[in-house]
Structure formats: structure tokens, C-alpha cells
Structure 1
């Protein structure tokens, strides 16, 4: 006679086997489901197309963000530089890529200017979808440290006696249009002199060829930190963390002037909604990283994410503002 405790019946053995197999199958399903949940998107390396050359502010900041995004997404995030007038080359590269969400493009406030200034073969608002802002940055109103202007009020007082000269890079750039906007809001007689590079603006300021320059902290940081150029005001609505002692244009006596530059990420219209959500969530985490924030602030930028809806509103607002400036300054559309 077999002991029932030592030798289970065939029915009991069969039941145990079914439970065991079911448990194994369930575990496998959970493991597979978890893996799918984690790697549903992206499924391959991601590309960010930057419409500027290597080494500039947009390129450097995008690379820093891309590295941290890659760590969180589990796939490499690569930067592809496609410089060209108004971002056309970069935009066309993205529009010709598969609409699978694995290609992003960096837009800037310059993109809103291009919609009026250039005859674009696409519509940035219709053919692309916003993901999030990446960084905000102000311009600075700069004078020679050896010049006669200790603050913006003294420069405006001089402007009531004679015509002033403002220096900024290329007509149609944010810097150039910011200078045009300033002379209208401040109600001063001024000529905006165009220069090819930020370095040329710096040289003109130091030589006294122009009274005031409009440029980013990033571009002329060396000369500012060395005490060769004096920031008279910043163009945003509040003082910056990187130059907290520099007043805003409003604080310096000019009401109604506010210029804030930005860089943001977009995807081609028709890309999967999951891509926008995943990138937005990832950017929120990355841009809140203390180390990245420290690096951005050192370059004169404030890392900050937005919702896609907020980004769309920013784009539309700036497009209208710069279109008006372009029209008033009579800058020709090409």
C-alpha cells in the first residue's frame, strides 16, 4: 500500500502541474508586459535636428539635453546639425523623415521671425507639432565700459539731444529686431547698424562706433566678464539669475518693452501622440536636473519645460509681435 502523503494521486499531480504552468505563464506575461511598457517608445535611436552649426548656444544646450534624454529613454539621442537660412534646411530634413516620432527639431524665436521674413515652403505651425520649450534667455543692452553711459537712463537722455546708433547682428535676427523694437518703444531717434558677427558688435562698441549693442550674454560673455562691456539692462520681464544686478529695461525706465528668446522642441505633424507625451515627460525630468540647470545658467539661459499647448501659444504670440516690428521697420521679405 502506498502512503498517500508520500505519493500523490495522478489527479492531484495533474492539478499541481496546471497551477505551476499557469504561474510560469503569468510571470512571463508580467515580465513581457513590463518590458513592453518600458520600451513601447522610442524603439530606436532618436535624432534632434538643429538648424544651427556646431558650437553655438543652441547646439551646446541641445547636446547636453540629448545626453540626459538618452539616459532616461534607454536609446541614444543624436544631434544632427543642419544650418541654413531661416531653418529651412533643417525643417525639410525633418519633414522628409518617417513620421514615426523618432525625429525632433529645435525651433527658436527666430523661427517665428522667419514666418514673416522669409517665404517658407512649409508652415511651422501647421506642419509641425510642439513638444516643449527647452530654454529661455534674454538679450542684453550693452555699452562700452569706457564709454560715457553708466546706465540706460543716461543713454536715453543723450538720445534726446542727438541720433543714437545701435549695433546688432544681421537684419531680421532677434537681436536686430529687438533693437528696432527698442527705438520705437523708447521713442528715441536711432539708426540700427547691422554687423555680420557678435564679435563685430563687440569691436564696434569698444571703438565707440555704436552707442548701444544688443546681444546675448552667451555670445559676449568673455568681454562682459572681463569688464570690457557694461550691461545697461536685460530685455526680459524680470532680472536674470546669471546677472542679478542688471536691471530690466522696464526698471531702467522704458515701459512696455519685453523680449525673451527661447529654444523649443517640435516633431513633424502626424507623429504619434505617444512620442510627444514621452518626450515632454522626459524633458520635464531632464530640465529639472540640478547639474544641467547650473550649466544652462552659466551660459545665460533658464532651462524650463512647457506643455505643448503653452508652446503653441508662445509661438503665435511671438509671430504676431515680430511681424509688426518687421512691418514698422520696413524690413523686406525675401
Structure 2
């Protein structure tokens, strides 16, 4: 006959094991919440239409991010002046790292140019830069200005006409910055679209146009136009023979466009770190770097802090250009 006390002692290990098992589900979700991110598809909201440089380049990044994260990254285009529609879509979603915003250097411009219902610096958390690109200054092939130096020399004698797309765009403000830094006589004329600017250049209505390489690659390759200078801090790999504006006679002039990934403020830091690591891994993949280069962009990641500095720097830079050009604040 077994003693009751001995029976209880014999059962004690089994009871303790059962108690431990019952406790596991209670601890599980808290651990899974931070450790298994992401556990569902993510959304990447782009404030531009389908087919543009930001859309194509960020879709390439999103595709590879899906592989890295083990969850689909769904790209949604929500264009609108100042990026308001896209920003609202991100800010009204849960701040859990599953809804992300694509910002560009235009976001920095918009802060001064538009009355916005959001503050890109305060309402969003930087994740990483993704791609950088410069603009090119183009003249008519076999025209009067085969080099930027010849254009600058002419600008001392008469008014040069600079053509760009719509007021407040990076292209337009780059031309305004060029006008102020070069000290030449110049007038900036904005058009509605890139094809309209190109037509004006070929017709002789303007002397030089400012645009991205991706937008004018066909005209450059076909010999319609000549790329006389690039706006970056160094020569690009896609146009290695084209000097920078600084090299060509305007010291200190530099304009770099960029695309980057942000999350809404309040997103858990460990999730921001996870996304940052994944983006930087994607941007180191040789085929991604090559495909982005073919679009006239350089794959370049960053830390969240570095991206925050880039945004602050460009907000200040373009605010000064907008004020000097006398461009009024636009209503959305």
C-alpha cells in the first residue's frame, strides 16, 4: 500500500512540467511580437504615379525585400501634391512597421513649398535611403553650347533661358539654384511635362534644360541632345564622360535626388532596425545595384540617423532656394 505523501511527491515533477507547459502560451505572444517580425505582408506607399523613377526603383527594392523578410511587400501608388495622400495612408495605419512610406528629395521641398497637414521630420521615423540620382544639364546637339563653359560665357553677355518641368519641382529649383550660384543672366521657364521642355530645347526656345538621366536617356542616346554637365558631387557611372557642374565652372553647386524608406513615428525601434538591415542587404546585391544603375540611380543605403540628417539638410537647402526665387507657398 502506497503512502499518500509519497504519491504526491511522485506526482510533483509531472505537475511542475504541466504548469510550465500551461505557462508557455502566456509568454509566447509577447516573445513572438518582437522576435518574429514581420509575420504578415507589408505595404509600401509611394507618393508618385506608376512608371516614374521612384516607382520603378522602389518596386525593385520591394521585390527583394519580400525575399529577405519572408513576407510580401505590397507597393501602393498614392500620388498627390506634396505627398499628402500617401502620408495620410501611412499615418492613419497602425504604427507597427507594416505600413511604410517612400519619401524623396521632393518631400524636403514640399515642407516649404506647400502648407502640409504633416511634418515629415516629426511625424515619421527614418529607415534607410535606397537610391541616389543626379540631374543633367542638356543642350541641343550641334547647337551653340557644346559645353557648360560656353553657356556660362554666353550668360555674361545675354540672358540665358533655362527650361524645366513644373514650378517647385527638383528640376525647377535646381535651375534656380544654378542661376543664383553661377551669377549669369538667366531666366527659368517651367513647362508642364518633360516632352514639352525637350521640344522647346530642340526648337531653340530655351538654351538648356534640367532633367534626370532616366527621363532623357532616349534623347541622349539618339544624339538629339548633349549632356553638358551633371549636378552630383561626382561623375556618375552612367555618364562617366560628363563633368559635374562644379568641375565646369560653378564651384560648390550640387544637387542629388534620393528615394528613401520611412515609417510613422512611434514604430518600435527593433522593427525599424530589422527593416534597415534588410534594406541595406538588398542594396548590396550585385544584380540590384546593376539594375538601379541602368535607371540612372546609385544604390546607397544608410543608417536611420544618416537619413534623418539628409532630410534636415535638404529641407534647409531648398527652403533657401524657394525664398530666393520668390516662389509663393502653394495651397494643396
Shift of 1:274: 1.8
Paired with 2:120 and 2:280, the residues of 1 have a C-alpha distance of 23
Paired with 1:154 and 1:146, the residues of 2 have a C-alpha distance of 13
What's 2:228 paired with? 232
Shift of 1:40: 1.0
Of 76, 82, 86, the match for 1:80:
76
Of 184, 197, 201, the match for 2:197:
201
Paired with 1:146 and 1:299, the residues of 2 have a C-alpha distance of 26
Of 210, 213, 229, the match for 1:214:
210
| Mean CA deviation greater in 323-332 or 197-206 | 197-206
Of 244, 256, 259, the match for 1:260:
256
Paired with 1:39 and 1:195, the residues of 2 have a C-alpha distance of 51
Paired with 1:63 and 1:221, the residues of 2 have a C-alpha distance of 20
Paired with 1:38 and 1:132, the residues of 2 have a C-alpha distance of 20
Name the SS for the 2:302 alignment partner. Answer: coil
What's 1:307 paired with? 303
- Do residues 287 (structure 1) and 291 (structure 2) align? no
Of 38, 46, 49, the match for 1:50:
46
What's 2:7 paired with? none
Shift of 1:203: 1.0
What's 1:152 paired with? 148
What's 1:175 paired with? 171
What's 1:40 paired with? 36
1:117-175 CA-to-partner distances (Å, cap 9, x unmatched) read 00110111110000000100000011011311110000111111110100000100000
Shift of 1:80: 0.4
Q: Does the 8 Å contact 2:49/2:77 carry over to 1?
A: yes
Paired with 1:177 and 1:56, the residues of 2 have a C-alpha distance of 19
1:217-273 CA-to-partner distances (Å, cap 9, x unmatched) read 011111011111100100011000100000001111111201111110000001111
1:49-85 CA-to-partner distances (Å, cap 9, x unmatched) read 0000111111111111001000110000010000000
Paired with 1:96 and 1:38, the residues of 2 have a C-alpha distance of 22
- Do residues 162 (structure 1) and 143 (structure 2) align? no
Deviating beyond 2 angstroms after TM superposition, the runs of 4 or more aligned structure 1 residues are 35-39
Of 57, 64, 84, the match for 2:60:
64
What's 1:93 paired with? 89
Q: Does the 8 Å contact 2:34/2:270 carry over to 1?
A: no
Name the SS for the 2:187 alignment partner. Answer: strand
Unaligned runs of 5+ in 1: 1-13
Name the Cα RMSD after superposition.
2.1
Name the SS for the 1:332 alignment partner. Answer: coil
Paired with 2:89 and 2:34, the residues of 1 have a C-alpha distance of 29
What's 1:9 paired with? none
Name the SS for the 2:229 alignment partner. Answer: strand
Paired with 1:190 and 1:275, the residues of 2 have a C-alpha distance of 49
Paired with 1:317 and 1:38, the residues of 2 have a C-alpha distance of 33
Of 129, 134, 159, the match for 2:130:
134
1:31-62 CA-to-partner distances (Å, cap 9, x unmatched) read x99x9599611111010000001111111111
What's 1:4 paired with? none
Q: Does the 8 Å contact 1:199/1:220 carry over to 2?
A: no
Name the SS for the 2:257 alignment partner. Answer: strand
What's 1:272 paired with? 268
Paired with 1:321 and 1:124, the residues of 2 have a C-alpha distance of 15
Unaligned runs of 5+ in 2: 1-9
